[in-house]
A and B are shown apart, each in its own frame.
Chain A
Amino acid sequence: MKKQNKPSKNIDKPFTFRGKYLLCIVALIYVLLFVIDSQSALLALQKGSKVLLKILPIFCVVIVCTALINYFLKPKQIAKHLGHDSGAKGWLWALLGGVISHGPMYAWYPLFEDLRRHGMKDALIAVFFASRTIKIPLLPIMIDYFGLTFTIILSCYILIGALIQGALLEMFGTQKET
């Protein structure tokens, strides 16, 4: 029996900060590290700031992408293209999106949380994350280090593996939990 695409009815959630506890724990670790080894703590803080500065443009892209999707597509349309009845097109979109997406995985969490709430199926999220291993701008560097044959073979296996992972995740039925 096919599952129905049911975009969540209660889309507007009240504003609450998320991950407060995680941030507090991380801050506590920094304080402890500062007491034990202040140089390492400062270096970690510096590296974290650099990462933040580097991915700020990606955060902007994610915000604009989320807004554009919500502006042009209704939840029903999102569910149609990326939901349980999306068919091969949905899988291809997820695969393509993963390959062309840039930046760390967690930068894309807000967008996928939004799409999931509007009816995107978990399997496609898994496909997106699995296919992200192919980084188009970095392919020349990979070819330089590991050779053309290795890069082509690895990329093919990544794409096939991503689709199988999505299919298996769908079989396991993670969608029950939201």
Chain B
Amino acid sequence: MEKKPSKQSSPRPSFGKVLQKSSLSFAAMAPLLLGVIGLVGLFQVLVTPTMLASMFRDNPFIDTLIGTLAGAAASGNPVVSYLLGGELLSQGISLYAVTAFILSWVTLGFTQLPAEVEVFGGRFTLYRNILAFVFTILIAILTTITVQVLS
């Protein structure tokens, strides 16, 4: 019986080669990531928690917007947003604003915008950030209403 000629595919490169290639493509992005980390350092010093907390007014609607923008301007470990959020709640700031704040802390970020545009393009970055902004507010409102209804 004749053997069917199998399709010739290029031999798989060794894992070492693939790892080297991944490291190189990552290294190419090093200045971009270092730039973002530099911005994070600047924002952590210039945008202090006290400054963020002082931005809130006692209006749930405006505070939700402020919470979203403040979360986007802040950077650092999300635990800090929980601590700050807890503080804001005890100061009488609405749950709408605090929820928006802790959500946008992770999904939105002014510091990472230049890198996002460079990597994914302006169109993707614009749409993703607009959607994240709108959904942060929507989720904050829905969560607060649901919690209030349930309790």
Contact = CB atoms under 8 A, between A and B. Distances in A.
Interface of A: 13, 15-20, 22-23, 25-27, 29-30, 33, 40, 43-49, 51-52, 55, 59, 62-64, 66-67, 70-71, 104-107, 109-110, 112-114, 116, 122, 125-126, 129-130, 132-133, 135, 138, 141-142, 145-146, 149-150, 153-154, 157-158, 161, 164-165, 168-169, 172, 174, 176-178
B143 A154 contact: yes
Residue in A22, A70, A130 whose Cβ sees the most chain B Cβ within 10 Å: A22
- B contact face: mostly helix, strand, loop, or mixed: helix
A63 B23 contact: yes
Contact of B41 (A51, A67, A107): A51
Nearest to B76: A51
B122 to A, nearest CB: 8
A169 B129 CA distance: 11
A22 B115 contact: yes
Nearest to B128: A126
Contacts of A116: 120
Interface string B8-42: 00001101001101111110111111111111111
B99 A154 contact: yes
24 contacts: A18-B31, A26-B35, A26-B38, A27-B38, A44-B44, A44-B45, A46-B41, A47-B45, A67-B19, A106-B115, A110-B119, A114-B25, A122-B120, A122-B124, A126-B128, A130-B107, A145-B83, A145-B85, A146-B82, A146-B85, A157-B142, A161-B135, A161-B138, A161-B139
Contact of A48 (B38, B46, B121): B38
- A contact face: mostly helix, strand, loop, or mixed: helix
A150 B147 contact: yes
